[in-house]
Homo-oligomer: A and B are copies of this chain.
């Protein structure tokens, strides 16, 4: 049976981290919110599930995944669940927790990226919090990107099993998510990331290696990969970008 992925149509968002794992593994999955209403799919079907009064433990927000009777919410949790099934988790059980710790740290960065354009309230328009956004975005560029990226570069360096992967000796979903994080940062902050590869050579190499994998390369040029846009998490607002200090 197909996995059912539930995420807002029209943007990559947090759903993209799950999509990359499903695409790399060529898993059979349905994008429910992008589907046809006549077939019981579409955004309405997703909202019905979110607002259901009968579902035991409805999700708080997309993305979520249905696998048979199981409804799993939260990006890192979905990947922790899918990883072993898709052959994208470390074989060693202990390392799976290491992978999950890294994935949750990536999730923390993603939340901080969101808050660069929405520092005061997620319910307010960007235009109504532009001044605060500029302060937060510049702090993100000067302090947070270096702190996180030095850390992740160090994780690859200290991974004694490989210098091409964050955890273990082969590709995991964490590498795929790191590709997306780096890729999104380049879209949102082209000036800040201009010298990314000089500062973080192993991360830059990981990004390029993931992009070149056959299944990922095919996905990235397909219609299933939506373009970055200013409804997503990674938004390019030139006034928030600046050269890294």
Residues of chain A whose beta carbon lies under 8 Å from any beta carbon of chain B: 53-60, 64, 69-74, 76-77, 80-81, 94, 97-98, 100-102, 104-105, 108, 111, 115, 119-124, 132, 135-136, 139, 143-144, 148, 151, 154-155, 158-161, 166-167
Docked CA distance A121–B121 (Å): 15
- The quantity of this chain's copies bound in the complex is 2
Docked CA distance A155–B76 (Å): 20
Contact partners of A97 in chain B: CB under 8 A: 70, 72, 77, 80-81
Q: Are A105 and B60 in contact (CB under 8 A)?
A: yes
The 10 closest A-B pairs by CB, nearest first: A121-B139, A73-B101, A74-B104, A74-B101, A60-B105, A77-B100, A70-B94, A120-B135, A57-B98, A72-B97
Contact partners of A58 in chain B: CB under 8 A: 154-155, 158
Docked CA distance A161–B56 (Å): 9
Q: Are A136 and B121 in contact (CB under 8 A)?
A: yes
| 16 A/B residue pairs, CB under 8 Å, sorted by A | A53-B158, A56-B160, A57-B101, A57-B158, A57-B167, A58-B155, A59-B101, A70-B94, A70-B97, A71-B98, A77-B97, A115-B115, A119-B119, A119-B136, A121-B135, A123-B143
